[in-house]
Amino acid sequence: MKRWRIPLATCLLVLGLAVPGTAAGAASPAAVSDPASLVNPLLGTSNGGNTFPGADTPFGMVSWSPDTPSRPPGGDYAYSDNVVTGFSLNHISGPGCGAMGDIPVLPTTGGIDGNATVGFSHANETASAGAYSVNLGNGVSTELTATARSGMARFTFPATAQANLLFKLSADKATNLHFNRVSSTEVSGSVDAGLFCASAPSYTAYFDMVFDQPMTGSSTFSGGDAVTFNTTGNRVVQAKVGLSYVSIAGASANRAAENTGWDFNGTRTAAHNAWNTVLGKIAVSGGTGDQQKVFYTSLYHALLHPNLLSDSDGRYWGFDHQVHTVAGAQKAQYGTYSGWDIYRTQAQLEALVAPQQASDSAQSLVNDYAQAGFFPKWSLNSAETQVMNGDPGPAIIADYYAFGARGFDTAAAKADMVKEGTTANAIRMGLDLQTKYGYLPSDGAYPKDFYGSAATLLEYSAQDFATSAFAGALGDTTTRDQFANRAQDWKNIFNTASGFIQPKLAGGGWKPGFSATSSDQFVEGTSWQYTGAVPHNIRGLADAMGGNTKYAAYLDSVLSDFHGSGGSHADLGNEPSIELPWEYDYIGQPWKTQKTVRQVQDQLWPNNPANWGVGNDDLGTMSAWYVFSALGFYPETPGTSDLALGSPLFTSVDVTLGNGAHLSVNAPAAADNAPYIQSATLNGATWNNAYLPASLATTGGTLNLTLGTTANTTWATTPTSAPPSYNGNGGAKPPGPPISTGTGPITSDNAGKCLDDNAGSTADGSHIQIWSCNGSAAQQVTVSGDGTLRILGHCVDVSSGGTGNNTLIQLWGCDGTGSQTWTYNSGTKALVNPQSGRCLDIPNSSTTDGTQLQLFDCNGTNAQRWNLPS
């Protein structure tokens, strides 16, 4: 019911009563105003997190950061080390294999030693968003900051005639080393690097560095070069370096374009402000100081990649080994996509808070397809490494689009997705076998073409669904249905007898010797961890397992521990398990989602780099999981903006969307020991669902939650309270324009009334209303493939093109405007007007004949649930 539409909190305040969970008259905590100051880049640099602590900007090309001897993959820095080998110009945040860490520079004094390392202590080290500094054991203070494509350093040496900068060009297996002393204040060069996970593709990194005082000498050592300064008079040597993947000239131009002066403090402040601009898109209040620091550090880590590839003039090195220039609305080309990881969380978060960069990232992938004939699976800069499995590129693009990043060539993207999913290519391995068998056989010579037959089929199923959702959103119902149906191929490897996903033989039998705790035919996981990996159809999976009770028992068992122990438990530090806690929402037990997610946050995400509990951050994927979980919702279903509900860590969350709208969550009683939802309202109306409407990710809305310390086992537990699942094969399909099914009545779940044209009039402005179903021409609605609803040759129309709540609905001559376009969400049965993002609604849930329909915020009530002609 939506009577009065006034939030409970408002009513209580009007009556002079306290809002539940808050003290009468108590002031709400202030929102964080300087989130960049809370970022601790040292988090994640231990226990396999593989992040780096150095200076960078959002999605930047340059990340000038210290390297230590154990050189963990990507980040090249281990918190347990106490020696620096150099400060290199680029890094990958949190991968499982080593790469980048190119062109390290190490300050030393005295004689030149190309193998030199320098000790340091964490007590003398400071890392923040956009800056890094350390006082080294050799007496040199090193301070680093960055712009998008350049870095700046301030080295304070002891007074000496032999102050050196060692350029260790051969670090991380770099080859084809070039170093040139351009003048007494400038050096440049290049290295060939890459070899991620021993893959062959590589890139060339070019640099150009200038100094604010002249060199007094230079020399060469094995694997590098050195320059020397006399700091007996002026102990401070400043350096500015440009990086490029195109040319030395590009590196020089990048430096000149982005850092014209010698103001180190000003450059550092600008980097800090650049981080505040994007981090500030999510404002939180409340929570503990540690929770706020982990939250904003996680958001920071989630926005380091994809990294810039194009120079300041728009030129970049493409997948076809040619130089290209960004064109049209695209502002920059991006690269380095850990696709297997980021389609689950990071892509959605990037689109939510940085839609311009996400749109450019989507266009970058479309450009990659044009140059290479496939979407990257795991790319390092502008080369495919063929690491991991699946076909994640389409899912990443669909995620970007679903969460509001739509400034790219969507038609080309869809055409590419369809081609990649239907014709042989370098990424979609085993496509011919899936077409033949409906699964990927695990016997004989077949597995040589793909990595983990069972895991890969699950990946393909989820990614086919994302393609389906994207096509549906663009109005292509044929492609939508085609891929939605194939997305159900996971059923072919689910063994109803065992209750597990199992590898299957080409002859149709199950692979002998199956053990649910084995990783055979799975990828970085076991069948215990992978069986729940059907994010688009949890309802179908639960039914296949035997119903909610059996599925709950599976989740209870696999989530009874989440450190991966014995192969029979979830590993919430790695991607195959990260969706599992949210799946209780789909089977009527949302309080278990709330409980389990909080346990994971508390146990694996400390504000302490030495005790870090999460594995590889995988270019922000795990960090994005934490961000979503702390906000209180999660993008379970790839390619859609469906959001499964948990509960927030903070008393207030406000997300500023790309269109200026706000997605807000208010939970005055939020506390670490109070994860349980007692009741909820959405946009002022009672909300009893374990999900948020998909439209909130792009149009915004306000969710008010009453939280408590004990589970409410009756809230959002009915079958209709579950988030959408998509069956394909004639069942529920992804959201998209209405299917063209001819003409008939549209009925409401609110008392079974019919959508009706008042008196069957064809006059412009005639009321569109509800009326008892009578089979008259006024109730015969043609659901058209162009998204219009037509009665008597005229269109159902939003009055005066309005977009606000309570705008009335009328009949009008069809004119092709957004006021006459409707999409249908088969999960919530809502008819949504995309122009406004609001739903076709019966005011106050009225059942009175003649009640004129209106627009209103989508809320999932029966007043917004419509049944299309069959």
Within this chain, do residues 169 and 47 fall inside the same structural domain, yes or no? yes
Within this chain, do residues 708 and 784 fall inside the same structural domain, yes or no? no
Instruction: Name the one residue in this structure whose structure tokens are 């699950």.
Output: 458
**Residue 734 resides in a domain:** no
How many structural domains is the chain composed of? 3
**Residue 728 resides in a domain:** no
At residue 228, does pLDDT exceed 80? yes
Within this chain, do residues 541 and 654 fall inside the same structural domain, yes or no? yes
pLDDT at 826: 72
Burial call 701-725: b when 16+ CB within 10 Å, e when fewer: bbbbbbbbeebbeebbbeeebbbbb
pLDDT at 7: 32
Distance CA 412, CA 371 (A): 13
pLDDT at 20: 34
DSSP 28: P
Q: Per DSSP, what are the bridge partners of residue 563?
A: 571
**Residue 807 resides in a domain:** yes
Best CA proximity match to 809, nearest among 742, 758, 847: 758
pLDDT at 27: 61
At residue 310, does pLDDT exceed 80? yes
pLDDT at 200: 79
H/E element holding 459? helix 453-473
pLDDT at 742: 63
619 dihedral zone (left: phi>0; alpha: psi -120 to 50; beta): left
pLDDT at 787: 76
- Mean of the per-residue pLDDT values of the chain: 92
Within this chain, do residues 711 and 766 fall inside the same structural domain, yes or no? no
**Residue 666 resides in a domain:** yes
**Residue 518 resides in a domain:** yes
The CATH number that applies at residue 634 is: 3.30.2080.10
Out of 278, 310, 332, pick the residue that ends a domain: 278
The CATH number that applies at residue 855 is: 2.80.10.50
Within this chain, do residues 367 and 513 fall inside the same structural domain, yes or no? yes
Cα angle 169, 361, 72; round to 5 = 35
Average pLDDT over residues 832-842: 84
Task: List pLDDT tens digits, range 785-794.
Answer: 667 899 988 9
Domain that holds residue 767: 742-867
Task: List pLDDT tens digits, range 9-66.
Answer: 333 222 222 333 333 334 678 999 999 999 999 999 999 999 999 999 999 999 999 9
Least confident of 265-269, 473-477, 498-502: 473-477
Within this chain, do residues 311 and 244 fall inside the same structural domain, yes or no? no
**Residue 737 pLDDT grade (very low, low, confident, very high; cuts 50, 70, 90):** very low
At residue 206, does pLDDT exceed 80? yes
At residue 429, does pLDDT exceed 50? yes
pLDDT at 801: 81
Task: List pLDDT tens digits, range 844-867.
Answer: 999 999 999 999 988 889 999 999
DSSP 791: E
Distance CA 31, CA 650 (A): 10
pLDDT at 785: 66
Q: Are 734 and 480 in contact (CB under 8 A)?
A: yes
Out of 258, 278, 298, pick the residue that ends a domain: 278
| Sign of the torsion angle spanned by Cα atoms 60, 65, 71, 77 | negative
**Residue 492 resides in a domain:** yes
The CATH number that applies at residue 209 is: 2.70.98.10
Within this chain, do residues 195 and 72 fall inside the same structural domain, yes or no? yes
Q: Phi then psi for 354, rounded to 5 degrees? A: -135, 65
Within this chain, do residues 233 and 326 fall inside the same structural domain, yes or no? no
Three-class DSSP labels, 162-208: CEEEEECCCHHHCEEEEEEEEECCEEEEEEEEECHHHCCCEEEEEEE
At residue 183, does pLDDT exceed 90? yes
pLDDT at 751: 86
pLDDT at 836: 74
Average pLDDT over residues 762-772: 95
Within this chain, do residues 551 and 621 fall inside the same structural domain, yes or no? yes
Distance CA 291, CA 772 (A): 54
At residue 213, does pLDDT exceed 60? yes
**Residue 111 resides in a domain:** yes
Average pLDDT over residues 575-579: 98
Q: Are 593 and 272 in contact (CB under 8 A)?
A: no
Within this chain, do residues 268 and 375 fall inside the same structural domain, yes or no? no
Out of 670, 692, 721, pick the residue that ends a domain: 721
pLDDT at 741: 54
Which tokens in the block code for residue 836? Answer: 């406004």
Distance CA 652, CA 30 (A): 9
pLDDT at 447: 64
Cα angle 305, 309, 311; round to 5 = 135
Task: List pLDDT tens digits, range 270-304.
Answer: 999 999 999 999 999 999 999 999 999 999 999 99
Radius of gyration of the chain (CA): 28
Q: Cβ contacts of residue 620 below 8 Å, gap of 6+?
A: 93, 94, 301, 302, 303, 304, 305, 342, 346, 349
**Residue 455 resides in a domain:** yes
Within this chain, do residues 371 and 454 fall inside the same structural domain, yes or no? yes
Within this chain, do residues 60 and 103 fall inside the same structural domain, yes or no? yes
